[in-house]
Amino acid sequence: MNNLLDLFYFAGDRVDYVIVHNPAKVRTNLFKKSNIETELKKFGAKELTLPVVTSITLLAIKRAEAKAGRKLSFAEVATPGAAYLELMLAGEMQWAMQQVFRQYDMIADLLVPEQQVPEVESQPERAAKQPRPKHPMLNLGE
């Protein structure tokens, strides 16, 4: 935290800040709601939260990398039928990538120069699920 404070006091509002939350790490909650986070937000810091990938998927990726003899990209492990991960695990990686890319789009003004930010059509919000009517429970043992 001291290095972050030194950087913050040196750079001030002359740089763009992105606060990255990683809920998979245990101690990340120390920073959340701290004075440093509050100060960064005053300078226009944007936030993104990394999705949590299951340990089973992470282990499968390590095994696939060992078998391939190299590190694999997110695109390689998320491609169904690429034979690196089982379909369900590749689907989890696709979900994780979608979560991060949506957030990247929301903070693109901080990540790339203004003239290179592509026009992105806003995605319609999903309609709220309609509550299902309650039906009496059937007792099939009778």
Domain boundaries, the chain: 1-50, 51-113
Name the band, by pLDDT with cuts 50, 70 and 90, for residue 97: very high
Sign of CA dihedral 110, 114, 118, 123: positive
pLDDT for position 130: 67
Sign of CA dihedral 11, 12, 17, 21: positive
| Cβ neighbours, 10 Å, residue 51 | 16
Check whether 20 has a pLDDT greater than 80. Answer: yes
Name the band, by pLDDT with cuts 50, 70 and 90, for residue 120: low
List Cβ neighbours of 110 (8 Å cut-off, separation of 6 or more).
16, 17, 18, 46
pLDDT for position 80: 81
Sign of CA dihedral 57, 59, 64, 68: positive
DSSP structure string for 24-58? TSGGGGGTTT-HHHHHHHHTT-EEEEPPPPPHHHH
Check whether 6 has a pLDDT greater than 70. Answer: yes
pLDDT for position 61: 93
SS3 readout for 105-136: HHCHHHHCCHHHCCCCCCCCCCCCCCCCCCCC
Structure confidence by residue, pLDDT tens digits, 31-65? 777 787 888 888 888 999 999 999 999 999 999 99
